[in-house]
Structure 1
Amino acid sequence: MGSLGQLVLMRLRVLWRQPEVLFWTFVFPIVTTLVLGLAFRNESLGPVRVAIAQGEGATELSARLAGTPELEVETLELIEARRQLARGRVMLVLVPGTPEPEALVDPSQAEGRTARLLVMQALSRAPDAPRLEAVRTTPVSEPGNRYIDFLIPGLLGMSLMSSSLWALAVPLVSMRGGKLLKRLAGTPMSRTHFFLAFLLGRTAFAVLEVAFFCAFARWLFGVPMFGSYGALLGMGLLGAMCFASLALLVSIRAHNEEAVGGLVNLVSMPMLFLSGVFFASDNFPGWLQPVIHALPLTALNDSLRAIMLEGTSLMALGPAMLVLAAWTVLPLVVALRWFRWV
């Protein structure tokens, strides 16, 4: 074998010994296919959800729609029904009225037209039903129901996770490789203060991160804010602290800068697919939902969306905050216990 062959063989051996290359080449495509296959698997179409606004005649309308298997009917207050319509959780709101009911539909929802036709067909079966053209259809469009409105909170959560993991794990491993951590360990420096400096610095940067996302989402896309900016900032800071703790945990396992990249991807990639960044996590099967809801990015994304699009207060987000707190404290305790300075 000539010199060129030896050099090619050397490069192949180097690539084979790099786990991150093998991961992105062989493992990542398989995992991505399996995860997206679960999320967008072929299933029979379920019933179309329709809400009936409470009021006189609501019980009668509900009884007349109950015999249609293609419809899932629930009775709600009008304000709540319109909120569910704006969030895409119901496809049509039927408001009782005299002499004819009124159908509220969102023109941006493809299933709204199907729901309207099913409702009119069901109402026309009764002998005393109004004519099809007598059911008034009113298009409604409210802020917060576009895909960009769903996407922005997920991108904010993803950004907080990615920047926390990469901004802390990589510098720590680099400092260890350059023997800087060993020198710092020999100084009177408090080790607790050393880690707190990383966490507090990350938290301060997260303030700018949240403000940037809110500003460009509002100015460029008109994404609404139904909740409090203070609540959004508080949840964002808790999320940043959570993923900063995970970054410290990752840094104790990585021996060099090449390995830390693979570990960061191993931690973050499953959550990018499972935690509802680009599409709703409800797409995954029911047996996977407990695992998904235990992930920190799921708790963060769901909380950010609840604050921005539904006006939820921090007090109502207790379970999600407990999940983030657990993912903050436990990795931090383990990292401080087994952190390697050399």
Structure 2
Amino acid sequence: MGNQFSQLLIIQFKEFFREPGALFWSFIFPILMSFALGMAFSEKPEITQRAAVVLEASSDSSVLKSYLTNYCKKTEDLKFEYQNTIDNNKLGKTITHFIPTSWNESEIMMKRGQIEIILTENNGKINYHFDPANFASRLAYITISTMLDGKDLVSDNEVIKPLETKGTRYIDFLIPGLLAMGIMSSCLWGISYGLIEKRSRKLLRRLVATPMKKHWFMITMFISRFLFAILETVALFTFAYFVFGVKIQGSIIAFAAIIISGSFFFMGLSILLASRTANTQVGNGFISAITMPLILLSGIFFSYSNFPDIIIPIIKYLPLTIFADSLRSIINEGYGILEIMKPLLILSLTGFATFIVGLKIYKWY
């Protein structure tokens, strides 16, 4: 029995390490994603914004033309003709590039994401054209309108104190989400797709014909996938710790417990998905239909509070949301085992239920 267990476990590890793509997507890709997003949304020494300016050719008393001529510096860069820099000791440096162009060209630039706002002038009044739902455009409007009105961005009687609380950076929000997403993807693609592929290639039929115990096969697959999930978690968090200084503020025991319960839930779901699926095309569709909505809705990259209020209560009870929110609570807010007991039980019990149902209806060939 012990020899059968060890041989099956070795098979699971060999199958994984024989696929270079699996190593890349499991270990290297999450690290590259965290590095790219962490650098893109980390603190920058300056804010750069771009505005297209549509000037009236025949107007010599143009407010916009006067502002560009008297208050902006003409640049040597062919992309920008005028530049205004505000260096505020409270807010930092804000650089605004003004690009004189035609209306048609400015619309094309806006569609391509090359500018945040378009400025025009009508009877001495400046018109601001932008998408109010775009945060960068709204910031550009506030900044540029303040400059054109001759006002300071921050008045002397206002005090700005930089927030130094741990866990408030974007990278602190991102890493727990990537950990949860990585474990979900590892389980669903590693277990579900692996079992579906074995069934479609008639490998399960051959394995069942041997003296192999069915439960040993499932147990070794669970153990190997769980160990891979742990390795992925350690690799990503170690990278985040040394590169971005992300630290666990809460209980290590709570962190380990939620990792185990989250892994167990998605393992159980994987068995249920693979229980009756006969070919890889259908399996690929099933897994994608589950993972993509969860990744988009569960606040992995950005907060789900941006969604309409009517669906937020539903989003909060999605399994990936529960998993990611629990990890964030432990890493960023210092939660312990008692504070995460509810999500711990939800993930564990539902994972156990899906596992039992999946085994009951599992089709080996």
Is the CA contact (8 Å cut-off) linking 1:176 and 1:341 kept in structure 2? yes
Q: Does 1:171 align with 2:167?
A: no
What corresponds to 2:331 in structure 1?
Answer: 308
**Helix, strand or coil at the partner of 1:279:** coil
1:144 aligns with 2:160: no
Q: Find 1:291's aligned residue among 284, 301, 314.
A: 314
Secondary structure class of the residue paired with 2:310: helix
Match of 1:260 in 2: 283
Structure 1 position 243, deviation (Å): 0.8
Matched, 1:333 2:331: no
Deviates more, 1:275-284 or 1:190-199: 190-199
Alignment RMSD: 2.4
Q: Answer whether contact 1:210 1:233 (CA < 8 A) is retained.
A: no
Contact 2:272 2:358 in 1 (8 A): yes
Correspondence for 2:23: none
Counterpart in the other structure of 2:260: 237
Q: How many Å apart are 1:282 and its aligned residue?
A: 1.9
Q: CA deviation at 1:135?
A: 7.1
1:271 to 279, 287, 294: 294
CA contact (8 A) 1:275 1:295 kept: yes
Cα distance between partner residues in 2 of 1:313 and 1:244: 24
1:180 pairs with one of 203, 208, 224: 203
Shift in Å at residue 157 of structure 1?
A: 0.6
- Per the alignment, residue 226 of structure 1 pairs with 249
Inter-partner Cα distance in structure 2 for 1:222 and 1:212: 14
Shift of 1:302: 0.3
The residue that corresponds to 2:178 in the other structure is 155
- Return closer, same or farther for 1:314/1:263 CA change in 2, 3 Å cut-off: same
User: Matched residues in 2 for 1:137 and 1:297: separation?
Assistant: 36
Note the C-alpha offset of 1:176: 1.2
1:192-219 deviation digits (Å, cap 9, x = unpaired): 2222221122112222122112100111
Describe the shift of the 1:283–1:340 C-alpha distance in structure 2 as closer, same or farther (beyond 3 A). Answer: same
Which residue is equivalent to 2:30?
A: none
Match of 2:227 among 199, 204, 219: 204
Checking the alignment, whether the CA contact within 8 Å between 2:273 and 2:286 is kept in structure 1 is: yes
Contact persistence 2:177–2:301 (CA under 8 A): yes
Number of residue pairs aligned between Structure 1 and Structure 2: 216
Rg larger in structure: 2
The verdict on how the C-alpha distance between 1:106 and 1:191 changes in structure 2, with shifts beyond 3 A counting, is farther
Return the alpha-carbon distance in structure 2 between the equivalents of residues 161 and 322 of structure 1.
18
The CA distance in 2 between the partners of 1:336 and 1:297, in whole Å, is: 23
Query: Contact (CA 8 Å) 1:106, 1:139: kept in 2 or not?
Result: no
Q: Report if the CA contact (8 A) 1:185-1:191 is conserved.
A: yes
1:192 matched to which residue of 2?
215
Aligned-residue sequence identity (percent) comes to 36
Unaligned runs of 5+ in 1: 1-104, 115-131
For the residues of structure 2 that align with 1:133 and 1:172, how far apart are their CA atoms? 66
Whole-angstrom distance in 2 between the partners of 1:106 and 1:159: 36
Matching residue's letter, 1:271: L
The Cα offsets for residues 144-164 of structure 1, whole Å up to 9 and x where unpaired, read as 111111111101111010011
Whether the 8 Å CA contact 2:276–2:361 is kept in 1: the answer is: no
State how far apart, in whole Å, the 2-side matches of 1:305 and 1:106 are: 28
Distance (whole Å) between structure 1 residues aligned to residue 226 and residue 260 of structure 2: 6
Deviation at 1:268, TM superposition (A): 0.8
**Residues 271 and 297 of structure 1 are in contact (CA less than 8 Å); yes or no, is this contact kept in structure 2?**
yes
Q: Partners in 2 of 1:170 and 1:327 — Cα distance?
A: 21
1:296, 1:245 → 2: CA distance?
A: 12
Helix, strand or coil: the match of 1:298?
A: helix
Q: Is the 8 A contact 1:162 1:268 kept in 2?
A: yes
Comparing 328-337 with 229-238, greater Cα deviation is found at 229-238
Q: Deviations over 1:207-238 (max 9, x none)?
A: 21221121001111112321233422321122
Alpha-carbon distance, 1:133 to partner:
5.9
Q: Which runs of 5+ in 2 are unaligned?
A: 1-89, 93-134, 140-154
How far the C-alpha of 1:139 sits from its partner, in A, is 3.4
TM-score (norm 1): 0.58
CA distance in 1, matches of 2:91, 2:303: 19
- Aligned partners of 2:257 and 2:344 also within 8 Å: no
Compare the two structures and name the one with the higher helix fraction: 1
Equivalence for 1:281? 304
| Equivalent residues of 1:224, 1:308 under 8 A apart | yes
